[in-house]
Amino acid sequence: MSVLTAFRDSERARSIIERIHRRNTGDISIMEFCGGHTVAIFRSGIRSVMPESVRMLSGPGCPVCVTSNADLDRAVALAKTPGVTITTYGDMLKVPGSRESLMQVRAQGYPVEIVYSTLDALKLAEEQPDREIVFFAIGFETTAPAAAAAVLQARKRGLKNFSICSVMKLTIPGARALLAMGEVKVDGVIGPGHVSSIIGSDAWRFLPEEHGIPVAISGFEPLDLLAATDAIMEMHEQRRPALVNTYSRVVRPEGNRKAWGAVEEVFTLDEAGWRGFGIIPESGLVLREEFADFDADRRFDITVEDSEEHPACRCGEVLRGVITPHECKVFGTACTPESPLGPCMVSSEGSCAAYYHYQRQLA
Ligand code: SF4
Ligand code: SF4
C-alpha cells in the first residue's frame, strides 16, 4: 500500500467516522484556518459524514481572499505605471478590486503576467532588463520563504529591475484577531498543515493555553482530516484542550527554522489590512530597510484612489465564519466563479468557490 493510498484507506476512514459518531461531545464547532483544508474537506465529502452536532466552519485561511481591496487597487495602480510589469499568481487576476481586476487591466493592454513561482518572476526580470518586474506577493507563512529567497537571489545576481509588493500575512495574528472579535463560537481548530511546516506546531499552543481551545494540526488527505477532527472531539469531550500534531510526518514542533530564518532576514513585521478584519497589528510582512531597493512600495510613487467594497459582497463575514456562503444573497446568482463579485468565489481555496463546486445543491 503506498503512503497516499494508506491515507485514503476507506476501512480506516470508516472506523474513525464511527468513533466520531459515538463521541459524546454535544454541539461542537470546529474551524479550519486553511483554504487547502476547506477544499479538501469538501472534496472528500467529510462534511456530509459528520454527525449533525458537528459544525465545520471555514476561517480566514485563503490568502487571496484576505487580500484587501486597498492592496488590490495598489497592484492595479502598479500595473498601470509606465515601464512596470506586474507578476502574480493566477488566482489573483480575477479578483475584483474597487474598480477593476488585474485581468481587466491586462485586457486594456497593461502588462500583467501570471507566474507559478517567485523564480519565474526573477527569470522575467533577467530576460527583460529594460522593464521593471514587480512581484505582487500574496500569501501566508508558506509562501514567504520563496519570496525571501527571490529577494536574496535578486541581490546576489545584481538584478536592479526586480521588486516585491508584499501583502503577505501571518496566520497566527489573524487567528488571534478572529478569536478576539468573539463573533463565532470556536470549540476546536484544525491547524494548517503547510503553514505549520514552516512555523512549527508549537506556534499554535496559544489556542489551548490561552483560549482553552483544542487544536490538531492536520495534513490534507481524508484520513488526516478525520484523525484531526476526532482528536479535537476527544479533547473537547474530556475537557482537556491541548495541541495534537496529526501531521508529524511533515510538521515539526519547531518548524523549518532555515526557511523562516530567510524570511526574518528579508522581512520585518508591520500592520496589515485584512479583508473582513481591517488593520491587524504586526500581521504583515514588509521588506526590511536593508532591502529597500527591492521594495516596490518605496520604488514607485503611485496614487491609489479611495478603495471601496462591492455593496452586495459579504466575503468579510464569510472569512470570519459569521455566515456561510449560502447566506450571501448573490451566491450562485450574481456571483459565480465565472463572474465573481468577491474573492471567496474566485480563489481555488475560497469558501464560496468550494461551496459552489461541491455543495451547490444545498443553496
Ligand atoms: S498555503 Fe497551504 S497552509 Fe496556507 S492556506 Fe493554502 S493550503 Fe493552507
Ligand atoms: S457569494 Fe460572492 S459576493 Fe457573496 S460572499 Fe461569496 S464571493 Fe462574496
Q: In the structure grid, which three cell numbers stand for residue 35, read together?
A: 483554504
Q: Which ligand is nearest to the CA of 139?
A: 1
Type and span of the H or E element at 26: none
Q: Rounded CA gap, 182 and 155, in Å?
A: 44
Q: What spacing in Å lies between the alpha carbon of 332 and ligand 2's midpoint?
A: 9
* 36-69 pLDDT tens trace: 999 999 999 999 899 999 999 999 989 999 999 9
| 86 vs 42: CA distance, rounded Å | 33
94 CA from centroid of ligand 2 (Å): 13
Task: Please work out whether the CB of residue 34 comes within 6 Å of at least one atom of ligand 1.
Answer: yes
How is residue 352 written as a grid cell?
A: 464560496
DSSP secondary structure letter of residue 105: H
Residue 342 DSSP SS3: coil
Q: Of all atoms in ligand 2, which is nearest to the CA of residue 313?
A: 3
pLDDT value of position 309: 86
65-91 residue pLDDT tens: 999 999 999 999 999 999 999 999 998
Angle 155-157-158 from CA coordinates, rounded to 5°: 65
Q: Is the CB of 96 under 6 A from ligand 2?
A: no
Instruction: List the Cα angle 159/124/195 in 5-degree steps.
Output: 90
- Write out residues in the chain with pLDDT < 70, as ranges: 1-8, 360-363
Could you tell which of 143, 194, 221, 224 is best to mutate to test the pocket of ligand 1, judged by most ligand atoms within 8 Å of the CB?
194
pLDDT for res 5: 56
Ligand 2 binding pocket mutation candidate from 335, 336, 339, 357 (most atoms within 8 A of CB): 335
| Cβ of 192 below 6 Å from ligand 1 | yes
22 CA distance to ligand 1 centroid (A)? 31
Residue-wise DSSP of 8-54: T-HHHHHHHHHHHHH----SEEEEE--HHHHHHHHHTTHHHHS-TTE
Considering every ligand atom shown, identify the ligand nearest to the alpha carbon of residue 353 and give its number.
Answer: 2
Q: How far apart are the first and last CA of the chain?
A: 39
State in Å: Cα 143 to ligand 1 middle. Answer: 9
Closest among 58, 25, 20, 52 to 39, alpha carbons compared: 58
Contact between 201 and 252 (Cβ < 8 Å): yes
Residue 144 grid coordinates: 514567504
User: Nine-digit cell at 253?
Assistant: 514542533
266-282 pLDDT, tens digit per residue, is 999 999 999 999 999 99
**pTM of this prediction?**
0.92
State the closest ligand 1 atom to the C-alpha of 194, by its place in the atom list counted from 1.
3
Q: What is the pLDDT of residue 8?
A: 67
What does the alpha-carbon distance between residue 314 and residue 309 come to, in Å, rounded to a whole number?
9
199 C-beta closer than 6 A to ligand 2: no
Ligand 1 and 36: CB distance under 6 A: yes
Residue 13, amino acid: A
Closest atom of ligand 1 to 143 CA is 1
Whose CA is closest to atom 1 on ligand 2?
331
